[in-house]
Structure 1
Amino acid sequence: MEAARQAVERDPQAGSGTDWGYRLASLAFERLGRDAEAVAAAEEAVRLAPGSWTARLRLGAALRRIPGRWRESWAQATRAVRYAPEEPDPHVLIGDLALLRGEHRRAEAAYRNALRHLDDHPGARVNLGLAFLRWKRPRGHHDPAWPVDPRETGRARRALEVWSRQVRVLLAVSLTAVVAVVLGAGVTTEAGIGGGAMLAAVLVITLRQAHRVRLWPYVPGMLSRDPWLGVSVSITLLAVAAYVAAITTLPRAALPPLLGPAPEPVDGVWAALAALVVFNGAFVIVLRVLVEAWRGRPVRAMAEFTAVHGDRTARRDIDVTLWLMAGRAWSALALIVGMTVVLDEPGWAFAALAVPLALGWARARGGLALCLHQVLAADRWLKAALALLTTASLALGAAAAVPGPGLPGTAGGWFRLIGIGMLAALVAVFAARSAWAWWRGVPGPWRASLIMSESGDRRLPGDVRPPVGLSGEVRRAFTHAREVVLAYADSTGPRALAVGSVSSVGPDGELRLIAGNDAWEAAERDPRVAVFVADPLDRRFWAEVRGIAVGDTEAAVLRVTPEHVVVGEYPGRHQGRPRPG
Structure 2
Amino acid sequence: MSQDHRARQQLPHLIDIGRWHDARARASQILATSPDDADTHGYLAQACLGQGDFRAAFDAANRLVALRPESDWGHRLVAIALDRLGDHRAALRAIQEAVRLAPHNPNAHIQCALIAADVPGELILAHEAARTGVRLAPNEPDAHFALGVVEHRRNAVAEAEAAYERVLELEPDHAAALNNLTTLRGQWNVSKAIRGYAGALNADPQIGVAQENLDSIATSFPLRLWLASVVALIAAAGFNFADDGVSATTRSIGAMLIVGVCAYTLRVVRQVPRSVRRYVVRRSFRGLALWNWFVFGVVFAATMAVAFTSFGEDVGLKILRPVLTGVVISGVVAVVQRSQSQ
TM-score range, shorter chain: 0.5 to 0.7
1:9 matched residue in structure 2? 66
2:217 maps to amino acid: T
Secondary structure at 2:216's aligned position in 1?
helix
Which runs of structure 2 are paired with 1:104-253 in the superposition (5 Å)?
Answer: 104-132=157-185
Out of 80, 96, 118, which is 1:43 matched to?
96
1:332 matched residue in structure 2? 228
1:114 maps to amino acid: V
1:66 partnered with 2:123:
no
1:371 partnered with 2:263:
no
Normalising by structure 1, what TM-score?
A: 0.40
Please report how far the alpha carbon of residue 425 of structure 1 lies from its aligned counterpart in structure 2 after TM superposition. Answer: 7.9
Please report how far the alpha carbon of residue 375 of structure 1 lies from its aligned counterpart in structure 2 after TM superposition. Answer: 0.7
2:253 maps to amino acid: W
Quickly say closer, same or farther: Cα 1:426–1:319, change in 2 above 3 A: farther
Quickly say closer, same or farther: Cα 1:348–1:30, change in 2 above 3 A: closer
Supply the distance in 2 between the matched residues of 1:339 and 1:452 (Cα, whole angstroms). Answer: 33
Supply the distance in 1 between the matched residues of 2:81 and 2:226 (Cα, whole angstroms). Answer: 46
1:447 partnered with 2:301:
no
Please report how far the alpha carbon of residue 74 of structure 1 lies from its aligned counterpart in structure 2 after TM superposition. Answer: 0.5
Please report how far the alpha carbon of residue 90 of structure 1 lies from its aligned counterpart in structure 2 after TM superposition. Answer: 2.0
Supply the distance in 2 between the matched residues of 1:129 and 1:372 (Cα, whole angstroms). Answer: 16
Say how many residue pairs are matched: 268
Please report how far the alpha carbon of residue 123 of structure 1 lies from its aligned counterpart in structure 2 after TM superposition. Answer: 2.5
Secondary structure at 2:220's aligned position in 1?
helix
1:318 matched residue in structure 2? 214
Alignment check: 8 A CA contact 1:306 1:371 kept: no
Identity %: 22
1:408 maps to amino acid: S
1:305 partnered with 2:197:
yes
1:332 maps to amino acid: A
Please report how far the alpha carbon of residue 384 of structure 1 lies from its aligned counterpart in structure 2 after TM superposition. Answer: 4.9
Structure having the higher helix fraction is 2
Supply the distance in 1 between the matched residues of 2:230 and 2:152 (Cα, whole angstroms). Answer: 33
1:408 matched residue in structure 2? 310
Secondary structure at 2:284's aligned position in 1?
helix
Alignment check: 8 A CA contact 2:140 2:170 kept: yes
Quickly say closer, same or farther: Cα 1:66–1:391, change in 2 above 3 A: closer
Out of 350, 356, 359, which is 2:255 matched to?
350
Please report how far the alpha carbon of residue 131 of structure 1 lies from its aligned counterpart in structure 2 after TM superposition. Answer: 1.7
1:385 partnered with 2:308:
no
Quickly say closer, same or farther: Cα 1:420–1:94, change in 2 above 3 A: farther
Please report how far the alpha carbon of residue 351 of structure 1 lies from its aligned counterpart in structure 2 after TM superposition. Answer: 1.3
Please report how far the alpha carbon of residue 44 of structure 1 lies from its aligned counterpart in structure 2 after TM superposition. Answer: 2.8
2:267 matched residue in structure 1? 361
Please report how far the alpha carbon of residue 81 of structure 1 lies from its aligned counterpart in structure 2 after TM superposition. Answer: 1.9
Structure having the higher strand fraction is 1
Q: More displaced, 33-42 or 90-99?
A: 33-42
RMSD: 3.7
Supply the distance in 1 between the matched residues of 2:320 and 2:270 (Cα, whole angstroms). Answer: 25
Normalising by structure 2, what TM-score?
A: 0.64
Supply the distance in 2 between the matched residues of 1:421 and 1:361 (Cα, whole angstroms). Answer: 33
Supply the distance in 1 between the matched residues of 2:173 and 2:61 (Cα, whole angstroms). Answer: 29
Supply the distance in 2 between the matched residues of 1:394 and 1:356 (Cα, whole angstroms). Answer: 15
Which runs of structure 2 are paired with 1:364-513 in the superposition (5 Å)?
Answer: 364-367=270-273, 369-377=277-285, 379-386=286-293, 389=296, 393=300, 396=303, 406=308, 408-409=310-311, 413=312, 445-450=333-338, 451-452=340-341
Quickly say closer, same or farther: Cα 1:129–1:73, change in 2 above 3 A: same
CA deviation vs aligned residue, 1:339-365 (integer Å, no higher than 9, x gap): 334444122322102123112212332
Alignment check: 8 A CA contact 2:218 2:283 kept: no
| Unaligned stretches of 5+ residues in structure 1 | 135-295, 401-405, 435-443, 454-581
Quickly say closer, same or farther: Cα 1:369–1:333, change in 2 above 3 A: same
1:92 matched residue in structure 2? 145
1:53 matched residue in structure 2? 106
Quickly say closer, same or farther: Cα 1:129–1:113, change in 2 above 3 A: same
Secondary structure at 2:120's aligned position in 1?
coil
Please report how far the alpha carbon of residue 407 of structure 1 lies from its aligned counterpart in structure 2 after TM superposition. Answer: 5.6
Quickly say closer, same or farther: Cα 1:331–1:433, change in 2 above 3 A: closer
Please report how far the alpha carbon of residue 37 of structure 1 lies from its aligned counterpart in structure 2 after TM superposition. Answer: 3.6
Supply the distance in 2 between the matched residues of 1:388 and 1:67 (Cα, whole angstroms). Answer: 39
Please report how far the alpha carbon of residue 53 of structure 1 lies from its aligned counterpart in structure 2 after TM superposition. Answer: 1.2
**Which of 1 and 2 has higher RCO (CA within 8 Å, sep 6+)?**
1
